[in-house]
Amino acid sequence: MTAAAEPLLQATALRKSYGRTPALDGADLTVRAGEVVAVMGPSGSGKSTLLHCLAGIVQADSGRVCYRGRDLTAMSDAERSALRRTDFGFVFQFGQLVPELTCLENVAMPARLAGTRRRAAEAQAAEWLARLEVGEIAGKRPGEVSGGQGQRVAVARALVGSPRVVFADEPTGALDSLNGERVMRLLTDAAHDTGAAVVLVTHEPRVAAYSDREIVVRDGKSRDLEQVS
């Protein structure tokens, strides 16, 4: 990746409290196009909150999140929803799939929400499922597949719309190391192919090793390790 690339997503001085609990206390983060950034840090330090703020799912109390020059914090819900639909993808530890829909339908959902016809969306989804080596479970519901398979479906869904940023919050948290690495490999390879940047929250160093850069969050403050040394 070109180090000099202009930032795709940039958060500055983010603060967010839940009641009296500060979750973020002046966190910064820069994501450049196509790079994989690992966010690590102790439990409860604010990693997930940072990720949610970056993706515009949670509104920070103060600070700015700039995505390609536009301030996410100033957007309407509809605009942020549209961004999630077209520019962002998400992979969480579990539970982000709609249990009522089949895996194929889950993957086709973002495209359908963006107005693609069902057939086209599902064809595209099938392709992605195949690419993530879970083509055979397309017709099953998320409740009927293993954690690793489900996670790959989630990755497929995150990537199907060719997003510019994929947000992954402990995507391998519930998987064994082999499966976790497979998911990571598929995720980073596919992201690399589509040119998507990945913000990856993880506790596992081996998962973080798939990143290009590492940010550590402690007590709501971020720290870019590249700049320490």
Partner 1 sequence: MSIGHTLLGLLESGPRHGYDLKRAFDERFGHDRPLAYGQVYSTMARLLKNGLVEVDGIEPGGGPERKRYAITDAGITDVDAWLRQPEKPEPYLQTTLYTKVVLALLTGRPAADLLDTQRAEHLRLMRELTRRKKSGDLADQLICDHALFHLEADLRWLELTAARLDQLAKAVTS
Partner 2 sequence: MSAPHEPFAGSDTTSGARDREPQPDLRTWARDLALGARFAVSGREGWTRTALTAVGVAMGVALLLLAAAAPAMLHTRDRKETDRTPSVTATLQHPTPGSLLVADANTEYHGRDITGVLLRPEGPAPERPPGVEQLPGPGRMVVSPALRKLLAASPLLRERIPYRITGTIEPAGLLGPAELYFYAGDSRLTAGDADNGGNADRATGFGRGSSPEVLGPVFDLLLVMVLVVLLLPVAIFVGTAVRLGGERRDRRLAALRLVGADIRTTRRIAAGEALLGALLGLALGSLFFLVGRHLAPHVTIRDISAYPSDLRPGTGLAVLIAVAVPAASVAVTLLSLRGTVVEPLGVVRQGVGRPRRLWWRLLLPAVGLALLAPLFGKAQGTGHINQYQVAAGAVLMLFGVTAVLPWIVEAVVGRLRGGPVAWQLATRRLQLSSNAAARMVSGVTVAVAGAIALQMLFQSVNGEFVTSTGADVSRAQVHVSTRITDGAQTAADVRRLKATRGAAEVFGYTQSEATQGGASKLKDTADAAYLPVVVGDCATLRQLARITRCTPTSTFVVPPPGDFGDDLARYARPGMRIDLNPPEGSGYTGTPRLWTVPAGTPTVAGRTDPAGDKEWGIFAAPQALDAARLRAPNAQIMVALAPKQPDAIEYVRNTAAGFGIGTYVYELSNTHAKSQYTQLRRGLFAGATLTMALIGASLLVTMLEQLRERRKLLAVLVAFGTKRSALAWSVLWQTAVPVVLGLLLAVGGGTALGAALLAMVGHPFRTDWPEVGLLSLVGAGVVFAVTLVSLPPLWRMMRPDGLRTE
Ligand X SMILES: Nc1ncnc2c1ncn2[C@@H]1O[C@H](COP(=O)(O)OP(=O)(O)OP(=O)(O)O)[C@@H](O)[C@H]1O
Q: Is residue 58 a contact partner of residue 138, using CB atoms and an 8 Å limit? A: no
| Residue 15: strand pairing partners | 25, 62
71-110 positions binding ligand X, by CB under 6 A: none
CA distance 50 to 9: 12
Structure-token pair, residue 229: 């040394």
141 binds, among partner 1, partner 2, ligand X, none (CB under 5 to 8 A by kind): partner 2
Q: Does 47 bind ligand X (CB under 6 A)?
A: yes
Interaction mask 7-46, ligand X, x per CB under 6 A: -----------x--x-x-----------------x-xxxx
- Which two three-digit tokens encode residue 32? 């450049």
Radius of gyration of the chain (CA): 17
Q: How far is the CB of 25 from ligand X (least distance, A)?
A: 10
The interface region with Mg ion, picked from 45-53, 66-74, 89-97, 183-191 by CB under 5 A, is: 45-53
- Site residues for partner 2, 32-51, by CB under 8 A, read 33-34, 48
Does position 48 interact with Mg ion (CB under 5 A)? The reply is yes
Nearest approach in angstroms of CB 193 to partner 1 is 14
Distance CA 136, CA 9 (A): 36
Contact between 14 and 24 under an 8 Å Cβ cutoff? The reply is: yes
- Select the binding partner of residue 98 from partner 2, Mg ion, ligand X, none (C-beta < 5 to 8 A, by kind): partner 2
Residues between 121 and 150 with contacts to partner 2, criterion CB under 8 A: 124, 127-128, 141-143
- CA angle (133, 205, 202) in 5-degree steps: 70
